[in-house]
Amino acid sequence: MIRIQNILVSPGEGGVYNERMLEGYRVWDPYRSKLAALYILGEGVELPKSMRVLYLGAANGTTVSHVADYVETVYAIEFAPRPMQDLLEVARRRKNVVPIMADASRPEEYAPFVEAVDLIYQDVAQPDQVNIAERNLPFLRPGGWLILMLKTRSVDVRRDPKEVLADTLTELGRRLEVVEVRWLDPYHVDHAAIVCRDRSAGVMK
């Protein structure tokens, strides 16, 4: 990842969300992007130019745009019509973003449009976040990565976020190797980033 004066940046065209520019690079705001918060607080996953990413929960395309600055292709899945309008504008300016309006819990809807990927990045505010991740694992190349941004209050607002995280790690650990776990405070309260490595997933037919 690129840092200038210890500030996380990406090497793309600015003006996506009025982000600050620094020496010709876009400043990647951790308050606007959970992935940026992960890179600042922990390790995360490197984003080489050859990487293909399946992004679940693309929303307005803020983080999508930064990821696209680094990688070959981003398949951006978003279900809500209003954020999709902003995402389409991001895709217009970044030709390596493939916007797909679909439900991330129904990967069969977009299977014909998505190639095998090296990273699945999930930021979906649903109670069944682990199930959604597992249903999309067939897209992942063997040895690929999953980054799940766990929104604990979306899973169960009545439970302690630490308990929700512990249960989530148990579920993910049945199939994946959990490599890193980070709470994203102070940037995103009650959110945890879970970085996993897959050793068995194949390609969805």
Buried b (16+ CB within 10 A) or exposed e, 116-134: bbbbbbbbbebeebbebbb
79 is in an annotated binding site: yes
What gap in Å lies between CA 8 and CA 139, rounded to an integer?
A: 29
Residue 78 counted as an annotated binding residue: yes
Q: Is 124 annotated as a binding residue?
A: yes
Residue 156 annotated in ligand binding: no
128 annotated as belonging to a binding site for a ligand: no
29 is in an annotated binding site: no
Q: Is 62 annotated as a binding residue?
A: yes
Assign residue 62 a region (left: φ > 0; alpha: ψ between -120 and 50; beta: otherwise): alpha
The span from the CA of 5 to the CA of 63, in Å, is 21
| Residue 58 near residue 87 (C-beta atoms within 8 A) | yes
The residues pairing with 77 across neighbouring beta strands, listed in sequence order, are: 56, 100
As to burial, measured by CB atoms within 10 angstroms (0-12 exposed, 13-18 middle, 19+ buried), residue 46 is exposed
Task: Determine whether the annotation assigns residue 123 to a binding site.
Answer: yes
Among candidates 103, 102, 162, 152, which has minimal Cα distance to 127? 152
Q: Is 198 annotated as a binding residue?
A: no
Token pair for 132: 């959604």
For the chain, counts of helices (H) and of strands (E): 6, 11
Annotated binding residue 63: yes
- Tell me the binding residues for S-adenosyl-L-methionine: 62-63, 78-79, 103-104, 123-126
- Tell me the binding residues: 62-63, 78-79, 103-104, 123-126
